Amino acid sequence: MIDVALSPAEIRHLQDTDLRDTTVVVFDVLRATSSMITGLAHGVARFFPVKTVEAAREWKKRKPDLLLAGERHGVPPPGFDLGNSPSEFKNVRGQQIIITTTNGTAALEQVRNAKTVLLGALVSFDSALQSTFCWSALEPEIDSAWKTRSEQEPF
């Protein structure tokens, strides 16, 4: 069975859903997942998606070597190193990046307890589709893009 949540309001309803045995593909068509996928393709070591600007800043206080990236309503918050345009992630090879966006990272937060979380974007549609339909043959691991809460440091 395939369920689709098409808007932030529908995604918020997932917080009450048991996703422990579910594979979720998060598509944020405009920016968040496209930016993360572009960054990973260009050598970003790791993304830490967080829901709020405040959470991103807390991470930065504890780990000052991480870069801050993101936006609120299309504008990078003051003091952030990067916005959320995919082109900004092509020249930060080897970096670890905390990212927060208006909708994309909020969607990731809602599904973080899923068995498997895949990032999907128009730049990776074929790969996401292939991964979705071939996942049972693969080791369920996407370390460089997402970790479950138990594998991450607490917020």
Mean pLDDT estimate for the chain = 78
Return the closest-CA partner of residue 50 out of 37, 36, 64: 36
Residues whose CB falls within 8 Å of the CB of residue 60, separated by 6 or more in sequence, listed in order: 66, 68, 98
Amino acid 23: pLDDT: 81
Indicate the residue type of 85.
Answer: S
Residue 132 has pLDDT above 60, yes or no: no
pLDDT in tens, 65-103: 999 999 998 899 999 999 999 999 999 999 999 999 988
Confidence of residue 126 (pLDDT cuts 50, 70, 90): low
> Within 13 Å and on the Cβ side, how many CA atoms surround 12?
4
pLDDT in tens, 22-39: 888 887 777 888 899 889
Domain positions in the chain are 34-116
CB neighbours of residue 138 within 10 Å: 11
CATH classification number, 34-116, choose in 3.40.50.1260, 3.30.479.10, 3.40.50.880, 3.90.1560.10: 3.90.1560.10
Question: What token pair was written down for 44?
Answer: 């970003």
Q: Are 110 and 116 a contacting pair, CB within 8 Å? A: no
- pTM of this structure: 0.75
Amino acid 142: pLDDT: 31
pLDDT in tens, 105-124: 888 888 888 888 888 777 75
Amino acid 33: pLDDT: 86
